[in-house]
Structure 1
Amino acid sequence: MKTVLITGASSGYGLETARYFHTQGWRVIATMRRRQEDIPPKSDRMIVVPLDVTDAGSIAACVEAAGPIDVLVNNAGIGLAGVFEATPMAEMRRIFETNTFGVMAMIQAVLPGLRARGAGVVVNVTSSATLAPFPLAAIYTASKAAIEGLTGSLALELAAIGIDTKLVEPGYGPDTRFSANSGMPVAELIPEAYAAFTQPIFEAFGQPPQVFTTATDVAETVWRAVHDRSGQLRFPAGPDAVALWEAAGGR
């Protein structure tokens, strides 16, 4: 029986990915900052472990509790929407601590075990914001773009020890509560000088999207990335992300 460790599995993409791997017969280590055992299906193959990817002690305890794993899915992340000029540096650093350094820390923590076994897969979930520029998402995009660069380089060096490294790039998911876990309300990040620019953007986002990404899209794409042996690095998830990926040349 294979084991996958998924960060940020309390809701949205992470929860659906945990459930998907579980239905395929895998042992799933579903991690989350606040333990919520009533969310995933009750099963001896669904193990809920608390994890704060910004805390070294929490990471070490999680990896020890998980035991040997075959796949790491770095899904935990924080959204942030707002004007760059108005975003405090402390908030920028908080976003990077989770979205960027948290991913790096998790990879470093599991690599010794994967290397000892000479096999495994690391999947980093980023965003379609890395495929095309979006307004009011500069910090979030930067935090995810850093992981894109990291993953491309790691794919080369980890292949030498039998480990595959993949990127999954989800599109816009209306149900993901993008900024819900941000430390600042969006209104505080929109100065009056930018009001004319931001108003039509927020109005557009207030309308039901015609094309969007579902949690199932992401779960199925993560599964496909884990089992891919073609050498493909990037896997867009959701029809909107696929369209952006194709427009970028399917790189």
Structure 2
Amino acid sequence: MKKISILAALLVMLTMTFTSCKEDTQPRLEYPTEFVLNRPAYADQLILVEQNGFIRFTCSQANYGLATTPTYQLQVSKTEDFAEYQTVDYTTTKADMVIPAEPFAMAVCSLYEWTEASQAEQSVPVWVRCISSVPNASDKYTIASNAVKLEQVKVYFAVKLPAAIYLIGQPSGWDINSTAMPLYETEIGSKVYKGTYTIEAGQFQFRFYDELGDWDYYSIGAQDTDSPVGISFTDGEYAGECCYDPTTKSAGKGSWECTTWEGGDVEMTVNLQNKTVVFRAL
């Protein structure tokens, strides 16, 4: 009996060993170590990146070991070591990369910290590299290419501006196309909007829209139901939640209304990150 038990145990161990070996030989992605961005033939020439145009690069796929479809994204820098850089806000899965002019120009303008159109009238050197990554995979599968220098790049002035939402209601005449009362992002991409306006007595009823022209979509309101929600100020301030779902018809249609408002300036903050609002009487 003891011999049989020992033989059975050995058989199990052998089976586990063979199974383990089989699993170890399964095809899998490898962590990449080589990735090449090709130097464009035009690298030494004056490159004009014009509005509605494009700039083109090619690369060879990183050595992932298996056929896969990486995502490519460019970065630009003033120096070869990329101590400081800007990322081009455009991705592609094609090794023959046709990059629209706008995101490339925005990255270069931001890199050189240009704030006026006249600054973009000069040509500047730009180092470019490409980042290859595998969607939904570990960062270990992300690799940066070699850096390529473009000697003379002239882009048009393209600067990303803060986004805006618009107050639509009694103060703006309930005009769904009115841009008269915008609230701007406090920082680009923050989704926190702020503005200060005079609201007359009897006019405190409104909601916001992040796109104009359509009553049924893009509304930011006190509730989804299309009816006013009464609010009041405590120590000169109201704070509450907002409803916002731009993909759902008639979402966020409930306006804020303060029937006791006696008129004056209101500082408005709308935070679409956590869906809250703060109205402060000044």
Coarse TM-score class (shorter-chain normalised)? under 0.3
TM-score normalised by the chain length of structure 2: 0.19
Indicate the structure with greater helix content. 1
Q: Which has the higher contact order (CA 8 A, sep 6+)?
A: 1
TM value normalised by structure 1: 0.21
